[in-house]
Structure 1
């Protein structure tokens, strides 16, 4: 099950569990669409994989299996701007 992390790892923007702006790689590194498009070129700076739209967990499932509250940020060179 996806953790549904609450923020962009690059700019620390809040990303709600139902956000259409959340992007993830196969390791669940999480970024906002703006950082993916304008800073990262669609490539995860951690693993080199592609970043795709994060699926939305249905509300009833979200109530039973809540999103993560752990915020993750990393000092990527592309994010320093």
Structure 2
């Protein structure tokens, strides 16, 4: 089950479970579409894996399997510009 982390690790932007602007790698590092493209070039800075759109969990499933509330933020991410 995906954690559905609540924010971008690079800019700390909110990314609710229904957001279509969240991208993840295979380890579920989470980034907004803006940081993933303009800053990271579509590559996770943590594992060098591809960033892909995170699926949206339906509302009914969120009641039984809520999204994570744990925020991960790396303010130095923007200096890692790869794209």
1:5-16 equivalent positions in 2, closer than 5 A: 5-16=5-16
Q: Any gaps of 5 or more consecutive residues in structure 2?
A: none
Q: Any gaps of 5 or more consecutive residues in structure 1?
A: none
1:53-79 Cα distance to aligned partner (Å, 9 max, x none): 000011111111000000001232326
1:7-46 equivalent positions in 2, closer than 5 A: 7-46=7-46
Superposition CA RMSD, Å: 1.0
Higher helix share: 2
Residue-pair matches, total:
79
What stretches of structure 1 move > 2 A for 4+ residues in a row?
Answer: 75-79
Which secondary structure state, in structure 1, belongs to the residue aligned with residue 31 of structure 2?
A: strand
TM-score (norm 1): 0.93
Matched, 1:70 2:70: yes
